[in-house]
Amino acid sequence: MESFESDDGHVIVRLDRGDKALESIERACTEHDIDTGAVVTGIGTFSTLHIHYVDRTELPDDQADRNVDLELQGAWEVTDINGIIADGEPHLHVTAFDGERTVGGHLEAGCEINVLGEVTIRKLPGLSLERQPDERDVSRLTRR
């Protein structure tokens, strides 16, 4: 992984074969002091795709019962990664295609780059956000 910052606050993250996508984005946030920002574009290929998604309209009280976890191997073409960084922590979603099916969901740790990845992060100076759980234990963005 290597990252580059422009004069106007954009950070480009280059992901190389074997890099972990989310972990590399988190590292770039630390290295470039990104507290609040937006991942505005992301593309690449994964050999391991690890996501979760909510598959119901009624949320059970137990967080573990809310999500479907997928860990998929193969050649996954990533068509988009985007989301918000609040308090230095990315909350990102991904869409990927393996030639037969398209899947999408919350980007989890362990997504390994197959060929390459490129991510653009936009710092949002003057805005300080964090996530706080609401009454249903859903993390909501709030001002800090």
- Domain encompassing residue 39: 2-143
Name the band, by pLDDT with cuts 50, 70 and 90, for residue 130. very high
CA-CA distance, 105 to 30, in Å (whole number)? 24
**18 in Cβ contact with 110 (< 8 Å):** no
What's the number of domains the chain is made of? Answer: 1
pTM value? Answer: 0.94
CA-CA distance, 39 to 72, in Å (whole number)? 23
| Chain centroid, CA 90 distance in Å | 6
pLDDT cut 70: percent of the chain above it: 97
Name the band, by pLDDT with cuts 50, 70 and 90, for residue 56. confident
Name the band, by pLDDT with cuts 50, 70 and 90, for residue 136. confident
Q: Output the domain CATH number for residue 43.
A: 3.30.1330.80
Residue 134 three-state SS:
coil
**What's the pLDDT tens digit per position in 19-54?**
999 999 999 999 999 999 999 999 999 999 999 998
pLDDT at 23: 98
pLDDT at 36: 98
pLDDT at 40: 97
CA-CA distance, 70 to 56, in Å (whole number)? 16
**23 in Cβ contact with 119 (< 8 Å):** no
24 — phi, psi (to 5°)?
A: -70, -40
CA-CA distance, 136 to 118, in Å (whole number)? 35
pLDDT at 104: 98
